[in-house]
Amino acid sequence: MNYIFEKYGWDVNTYAQLHQGLINNTYKVTTQNGEYILQTINHHIFKDPKAIDYNINEMGSYLNTCTPSYLFTHLEKTTEGKTLIEWEGQYFRAFKKIDGYALSVLENEIQAFEAAKQFGLFTSQFSDFDATKLKITLPDFHNLSLRYHQFTDAIINGAVNRIKQSKEAIATLSSYKGYVDQYEKFIQHTNVKLRVTHHDTKISNVLFKNSIASGMENEKAICVIDLDTVMPGYFISDVGDMCRTCLCNVSEEDSNLDILTVDQQKWEAIKKGYLQNMESELSSFELDHFFFAGQFMIYMQALRFLTDHLNMDVYYGAKYEGQNYVRALNQIRLLECYNALAH
């Protein structure tokens, strides 16, 4: 690691790995000049780390010109002025640590409102920016048709015993195929726009901070983080993943499905929060798909987890036998509960 620290010219006091996210390795580095977040980019998943680097710099310089006050995770420069380091087959990049904290589970609807507001604010910052200027960091990431295709492929070519054991879940997910058709109709509609889209809007990708205003302590979301999956995309990805991760009382890892519920108030808070900055940006056709966004993303994640289970956990990995199966069942239950919401 000293090689990397030297590249940045850091005088390091301590560093420690943070265990967050399923994809990248993250370290907190404390130096004489403050704290940094250092990450390796998982280039088995992100095949083109330079595209991520390009996108974050492209957005950063646009914001520096148009809205410099917007809190953004600008990439840290090495002493040679680079923002991406390739070393021993790994890619490293760093950010100044922003003073704030991330939540792993959302506790109340104020946090849901705050998080959704930040994700809406993020996309709305770029309303005059040509989203297609950004590179595709993960091709077909939220392409539901492709995810469905990968699922049907895994049903045929996956591990035989796992296919047998997952029969019921396979049947359930197959029965929801109508969402794939709805998705196709949505993306092909003329009043649907490609925008700068985060594509990973889970609650832990928002930083919060406590502030005191008029003598009252307030918990405010201050910015969004983890911009690797920012690409041109559709608003249903961002709203949908918020619904997937913010409404539920348990995490996607939980196998205790009897206690899983979704919260009507939090759903309303997400809608209100996101639309605060995005209502004037979205077409009425898009607005009519606000609820669909949740169905789209929860369904896609259920497909992805079950597909990975059938494919012997090649993508997500598994800390115990059947972990991705547990996650898939969790998402199926979540979808059922989500569908019971009033909207």
Q: Which residues bind ligand GN1 (CB under 6 A)?
A: 21-23, 45, 138, 200, 229, 252, 301
Q: Residues, the chain, total?
A: 343
Q: Which is nearer to ligand GN1, 30 or 90 (CB)?
A: 90
Report the candidate in 142, 124, 105 with the shortest Cα–Cα distance to residue 274.
Answer: 124
- As a whole number of angstroms, the distance between CA 111 and CA 122 comes to 16
Q: Can you say whether the dihedral through the CA atoms of 140, 144, 342, 246 is positive or negative?
A: negative
Burial level of 130, CB count in 10 A (0-12/13-18/19+)? exposed
Taking the complex as a whole, the smallest distance from the CB of residue 172 to ligand GN1 amounts, in Å, to 19
Q: What share of the chain is helix, strand, coil (3-state, %, to 5)?
A: 45, 15, 35
Q: Which is nearer to ligand GN1, 229 or 323 (CB)?
A: 229
Residue 60 interacting entry, from ligand GN1, Mg ion, none, C-beta within 5 to 8 Å by type: none
The only residue of 226, 238, 286, 313 in contact with Mg ion, by rule CB under 5 A: 226
Q: Which is nearer to ligand GN1, 78 or 294 (CB)?
A: 294
Q: Which is nearer to ligand GN1, 230 or 337 (CB)?
A: 230
**Per CB under 5 A, which region of 25-33, 107-115, 171-179, 224-232 contacts Mg ion?**
224-232
- As a whole number of angstroms, the distance between CA 90 and CA 88 comes to 6
Taking the complex as a whole, the smallest distance from the CB of residue 252 to ligand GN1 amounts, in Å, to 6
The residue number whose beta carbon is nearest to ligand GN1 equals 23
Q: Which is nearer to Mg ion, 84 or 169 (CB)?
A: 84
Taking the complex as a whole, the smallest distance from the CB of residue 83 to ligand GN1 amounts, in Å, to 20
Please report, as residue ranges, which positions from 162 to 201 form the binding site for Mg ion (by CB under 5 A): 200
Report whether 226 contacts 21 (CB < 8 A): yes
Q: Which is nearer to ligand GN1, 62 or 235 (CB)?
A: 235
Q: Which is nearer to ligand GN1, 25 or 264 (CB)?
A: 25
- As a whole number of angstroms, the distance between CA 210 and CA 215 comes to 12
Residue 53 interacting entry, from Mg ion, ligand GN1, none, C-beta within 5 to 8 Å by type: none
Only one residue has tokens 């045929």, namely: 156
293 by DSSP, 3-state: which? helix
14 by DSSP, 3-state: which? strand
Taking the complex as a whole, the smallest distance from the CB of residue 211 to ligand GN1 amounts, in Å, to 27
- As a whole number of angstroms, the distance between CA 287 and CA 279 comes to 8
- Is position 109 an interface residue for Mg ion (rule: CB under 5 A)? no
Residue 45 interacting entry, from ligand GN1, Mg ion, none, C-beta within 5 to 8 Å by type: ligand GN1
- As a whole number of angstroms, the distance between CA 29 and CA 244 comes to 32
Report whether 257 contacts 325 (CB < 8 A): no
Footprint on this chain of Mg ion (rule: CB under 5 A) = 200, 226
